[in-house]
Amino acid sequence: MILQKQKTVLFSTILLIFLFLFISQDYSHLAKYTSFNLDNGLSVYLMPKTDIPLVSVWLASKTGAYTETPDTNGLTHLFEHMFFKANKHMKSAVDYYNTMNKLGIIYNGYTSKEFVYYYYILPKTLLEPATRLMHDSIVFTGLNPEELEKEILVVTEEFNLRNSDPDYNLTSRLMPQALYQDQFYRFDVIGDMDVVKNATVEKLQKIKDNFFTPKNSAIFIIGDFDIENAKKIVTDIFSDWLGNNPPALNINPVKPLKENVVIFNYMQNPYYAKIYIMLNGPSSIDKDGERLGYAADILLQSLRLQNHPFGKALAPYVYSWDFYYQTGLYDGPIWFTAVVPVNQVANVYKIFKDNLNKIINDESYWNNTSFISAARQAFAMQQINLNKVRNIENVGSFVCRFWTANNFPKVLDLYEQYNQIKDSDIKEFIQKYLLNKSWVLGVLINKEKASSLQYEKLLK
């Protein structure tokens, strides 16, 4: 997550935004969006939401860690930092920030494995100047060498701060490094600090020219605005953005682990431990990956339901636990997590393995109509919650994320997707992604306790 950048001096804007944050609204307006493409290939989505006089402008691009190489790992994230700096009409970052302050614009950006987006939230009367600011930042990015040096220090400090947290270091670096092996750089957003420290304007310009192009990007305008006026504003301002198709990517699949990997990381607290188990599931680009991803969701949701044997076996020995799947374009991590008394780590790990074997070898253990139906109903409730939103930022993040994954607007009817999943799909997921699969076990624990309880010997 990128450091929050919020700049505003207009009290009225602050008041409106706080009102908006606390008013839950119908989300169904997303299904009524207007879309079109500019001649340069830029996709445009207009999503009116007129319950409050605010508007937001979003720019999303289909890039992230997955488009990097070992030699560029971390530069996409670094470029995001440079977006909010000098450009053709702003001499420096100070000029940029002062302009944002003057207009009362809230702004931020986010870089992930698979997408990058930037956004502004502002009073509706400022749609045109805000759109022009967005245009100037992406089309005429300044990439000033002095400001780049400052941002390299910022990113380095961000890296150090994050990895000083042993929990983050375990789950976001040590375990993914073990699972993804030689492909880890494609899943490491903040990147290799040696690469970041040696970044140059020329290297960032190449990142921009390759992936931050109109044919690889989309503009979303969400809020209180007139559609015809917004069409004219976007067309007039963004039509001069030029660029080619992004280069073809040669992405190798993640190699399966040959055996389980056990990783310990240490914390001061001696009273509890955290267990993490990570293995790779279906990705969106896999054959049948989308269908089997939905099957994974339903299966793991059913296991989490109250009174399921899986949870009942764990309950006496854990403070909390979870079991879930995260879909991605090129990976699909499956996570089991548990917070346990420090003397129960080995026991809980054994219970997990025993019950996972039951899932794999005994269909009656998981294929229970009441639990599977309840899991589908849980996703129906998620769909109802999806149809509401508390703030304009949630809406923009949602549509940008799923557009870059090629799942918008299909994602607006997820319940129908889950309803089509059959028991045979769940069985296929189990056979393909759980049977005979190795995983990474991560344990966050007090070092003295791990030694006295001989966990490193027992678990390895």
Q: Token match 């699969």: residue?
A: 437
pLDDT tens-digit readout, 358-403: 999 999 999 999 999 999 888 766 655 555 555 678 888 988 998 9
Whether residue 19 is contained in a domain is answered as: no
Question: Same domain for 382 and 345?
Answer: yes
Whether residue 10 is contained in a domain is answered as: no
Whether residue 2 is contained in a domain is answered as: no
Calculated CA dihedral for residues 347, 352, 353, 357, nearest 10 degrees: 140
Whether residue 181 is contained in a domain is answered as: yes
Q: Please give the residue that has the higher pLDDT: either 63 or 412.
A: 63
Q: What are the beta bridge partners of residue 46?
A: 34, 221
pLDDT at 418: 86
Query: What band does 10 get if pLDDT is binned at 50, 70 and 90?
Result: very low
Question: Same domain for 98 and 149?
Answer: yes
- Decide which of 191, 207, 239 is a domain's last residue: 239
Question: Same domain for 177 and 278?
Answer: no
pLDDT at 384: 57
pLDDT at 12: 39
Question: Same domain for 164 and 133?
Answer: yes
Question: Same domain for 84 and 218?
Answer: yes
In the predicted model, what is the mean pLDDT of residues 48-59? 89
Whether residue 235 is contained in a domain is answered as: yes
- Structural domain tally of the chain? 2
pLDDT at 385: 58
Question: Same domain for 75 and 182?
Answer: yes
In the predicted model, what is the mean pLDDT of residues 326-336? 93
Give percent above pLDDT 90 in the chain.
75
pLDDT tens-digit readout, 397-431: 988 998 998 888 877 777 778 889 999 999 999 99
Sign for the pseudo-dihedral over CA of 374, 378, 383, 388: positive
| Residue 456 pLDDT exceeds 60 | yes
- In the chain, the amino acid numbered 208 is K
Question: Same domain for 276 and 204?
Answer: no
How many of the other CB atoms lie within 10 Å of CB of 161?
Answer: 11
Model pTM score? 0.89
Q: Which residues contact 130 (CB under 8 A, 6 or more apart)?
A: 55, 57, 103, 105, 120, 122
Q: What angle do CA 58, 238, 405 make, to 5 degrees?
A: 40
CATH of the domain at 384: 3.30.830.10
In the predicted model, what is the mean pLDDT of residues 142-148? 94
- Decide which of 239, 270, 305 is a domain's last residue: 239
Question: Same domain for 42 and 76?
Answer: yes
Residue 160's domain spans which residues? 34-239
- In the chain, the amino acid numbered 90 is M
| CA distances (Å), origin 102, targets 14, 86, 94, 107, 132 | 13, 16, 12, 13, 15
| Residue 308 pLDDT exceeds 50 | yes
pLDDT tens-digit readout, 230-267: 999 999 999 999 999 999 998 888 899 999 999 999 99
Whether residue 122 is contained in a domain is answered as: yes
Whether residue 11 is contained in a domain is answered as: no
Question: Same domain for 311 and 206?
Answer: no
Q: What angle do CA 97, 164, 322 make, to 5 degrees?
A: 100
Burial of 119 (0-12, 13-18, 19+ CB in 10 A): buried
Question: Same domain for 220 and 287?
Answer: no
Range in 9-23, 157-171, 245-259 the model is least confident about: 9-23
Q: Please give the residue that has the higher pLDDT: either 250 or 324.
A: 324
Whether residue 29 is contained in a domain is answered as: no
pLDDT at 439: 98
pLDDT at 386: 54
In the predicted model, what is the mean pLDDT of residues 19-45? 71
Question: Same domain for 124 and 204?
Answer: yes
Query: What band does 86 get if pLDDT is binned at 50, 70 and 90?
Result: confident
Question: Same domain for 227 and 277?
Answer: no
